[in-house]
Structure 1
Amino acid sequence: MSLDKLKLSKRLHVSMNDLGYFSAKEFQLKTLSRIIGGHSIIGIAPEGAGKTTTYVLGVLMRLKYTQDEAPKVLILAPNEERITEIVDRFITISKNRELHIMGLKTSGSMEEEIENLVRGVDIVVATPNRARAIYLKLGLNLNRIQTFIIDDADEIVKQGMQTPVRELAQSCGKVQYVAFSTVEHEKLHLMIDDFMPLATTIEVDELGENAVETHELLLYQVPNFTTKINLLNLLLRDDEVFDKVVVFVNSRLTAQKLSESLHAKKGEVAVLHPLFFDDAGVDDVNDFKQIPECRVLIIANENTDVLDLSGIPFIFHFEIPESREVFLQHVVKNTDEEVLAITFATDIELPEVKKIEQALGSKIPTMPLPDDLIIYQPSNTQKEKNEVDESRGGAFHKKKESNSKTYNYGGGEKAKMKMKNKKR
Structure 2
Amino acid sequence: MFDFEKLGLAPTLTAALKEAGFAKPTPIQEKAIPLALEGHDIMGLAQTGTGKTLAFGLPLIDALLAQQGKPLPKTAKALVLAPTRELVNQIADSLRPLAKGTKLRIATVVGGQSINRQINMLSRGTDILVATPGRLIDLMDRRAVDLRSVRQLVLDEADQMLDMGFVHALRKIAPQLGTPRQTMLFSATMPKQIEELSRDYQTDPRKVQVSPPGKAADKITQSVHFLPKGDKPTKLREILSQDTNALTLVFARTKHGAERLMKGLASDGYNVASIHGNKSQGQRDRAIKAFRDGEITTLVATDVAARGIDIPGVAYVINYDLPDVPDNYVHRIGRTARAGREGEAIAFCSADEVDQLKQIQKLMKIDIPVASGTMPAAAAPSGNGGGRGKGGPRRGGGGRKPGGQGQGQAKAAPAAANKKRRPRRRSAVAA
Letter in 1 for 2:24: S
In the other structure, the counterpart of 1:118 is 123
How far apart, in 2, do the equivalents of 1:111 and 1:211 lie? 43
1:93-108 equivalences in 2 (<5 Å): 93-108=98-113
The SS at the match of 1:194 is helix
Q: Is the 8 A contact 2:156 2:186 kept in 1?
A: yes
The SS at the match of 1:144 is coil
How far apart, in 1, do the equivalents of 2:337 and 2:16 lie? 33
In the other structure, the counterpart of 1:17 is 18
How far apart, in 1, do the equivalents of 2:82 and 2:98 lie? 19
Q: Is the 8 A contact 1:65 1:122 kept in 2?
A: no
In the other structure, the counterpart of 1:277 is none
The SS at the match of 1:119 is coil
The SS at the match of 2:382 is helix
In the other structure, the counterpart of 1:164 is 169
Q: Is the 8 A contact 1:77 1:156 kept in 2?
A: yes
In the other structure, the counterpart of 1:39 is 40
TM-score w.r.t. the length of structure 1 is 0.54
How far apart, in 2, do the equivalents of 1:357 and 1:90 lie? 22
1:386-405 equivalences in 2 (<5 Å): none
Letter in 2 for 1:200: R
Q: Is the 8 A contact 2:220 2:336 kept in 1?
A: no
In the other structure, the counterpart of 2:424 is none
Q: 1:62 to 1:300 in 2, by over 3 A?
A: same
Q: Is the 8 A contact 2:83 2:132 kept in 1?
A: yes
How far apart, in 2, do the equivalents of 1:197 and 1:302 lie? 53
CA offsets 1:360-410 (integer angstroms, 9 cap, x no match): 999xxxxxxxxxxxxxxxxxxxxxxxxxxxx8xx9xxxx9xxx9xxxxxxx
1:178 equivalenced with 2:146 (yes/no): no
In the other structure, the counterpart of 2:267 is none
1:351 equivalenced with 2:331 (yes/no): yes
1:67 equivalenced with 2:70 (yes/no): yes
In the other structure, the counterpart of 2:347 is none
Q: Is the 8 A contact 2:79 2:153 kept in 1?
A: yes
Q: 1:138 to 1:19 in 2, by over 3 A?
A: same
Q: CA deviation at 1:17?
A: 0.8
CA offsets 1:274-305 (integer angstroms, 9 cap, x no match): xxxxxxxxxxxxxxxxxxxxxxxxx6578645
Q: Is the 8 A contact 1:78 1:156 kept in 2?
A: yes
Gaps of 5+ in 2: 240-252, 254-299, 302-314, 345-355, 366-378, 387-431
Q: Which moved more, 1:30-39 or 1:113-122?
A: 113-122
Gaps of 5+ in 1: 218-245, 249-270, 274-298, 308-318, 330-342, 363-390, 404-410, 419-424
How far apart, in 2, do the equivalents of 1:356 and 1:350 lie? 11
1:85 equivalenced with 2:90 (yes/no): yes
Letter in 1 for 2:37: I
Q: 1:272 to 1:47 in 2, by over 3 A?
A: closer
How far apart, in 2, do the equivalents of 1:122 and 1:88 lie? 15
In the other structure, the counterpart of 1:202 is 208
Letter in 2 for 1:182: A
Q: 1:416 to 1:19 in 2, by over 3 A?
A: closer
Letter in 2 for 1:168: I
Q: CA deviation at 1:354?
A: 5.8
- Return the index of the structure with the highest Cα Rg: 1
Q: Which moved more, 1:158-167 or 1:175-184?
A: 158-167
1:240-389 equivalences in 2 (<5 Å): 247=226, 271=228, 273=230, 300=232, 304=236, 306=238, 325=316, 346-352=326-332
How far apart, in 1, do the equivalents of 2:115 and 2:91 lie? 20
Q: 1:204 to 1:140 in 2, by over 3 A?
A: same
The SS at the match of 2:200 is coil
1:153 equivalenced with 2:158 (yes/no): yes
In the other structure, the counterpart of 2:7 is 6
CA offsets 1:256-288 (integer angstroms, 9 cap, x no match): xxxxxxxxxxxxxxx453xxxxxxxxxxxxxxx
Q: 1:179 to 1:303 in 2, by over 3 A?
A: same
Q: 1:65 to 1:130 in 2, by over 3 A?
A: farther
Q: 1:302 to 1:164 in 2, by over 3 A?
A: farther
Q: CA deviation at 1:211?
A: 7.8
Letter in 1 for 2:69: T
The SS at the match of 1:122 is strand
- Root mean square deviation, CA, Å: 4.7
Q: 1:360 to 1:8 in 2, by over 3 A?
A: closer
Q: Is the 8 A contact 1:71 1:145 kept in 2?
A: yes
CA offsets 1:95-126 (integer angstroms, 9 cap, x no match): 23411222113233334433432332212111
How far apart, in 1, do the equivalents of 2:234 and 2:111 lie? 31
How far apart, in 2, do the equivalents of 1:113 and 1:184 lie? 33
In the other structure, the counterpart of 1:128 is 133
1:42-53 equivalences in 2 (<5 Å): 42-53=43-54
Q: 1:164 to 1:302 in 2, by over 3 A?
A: farther
Q: Alignment identity in percent? A: 21
The SS at the match of 2:126 is coil
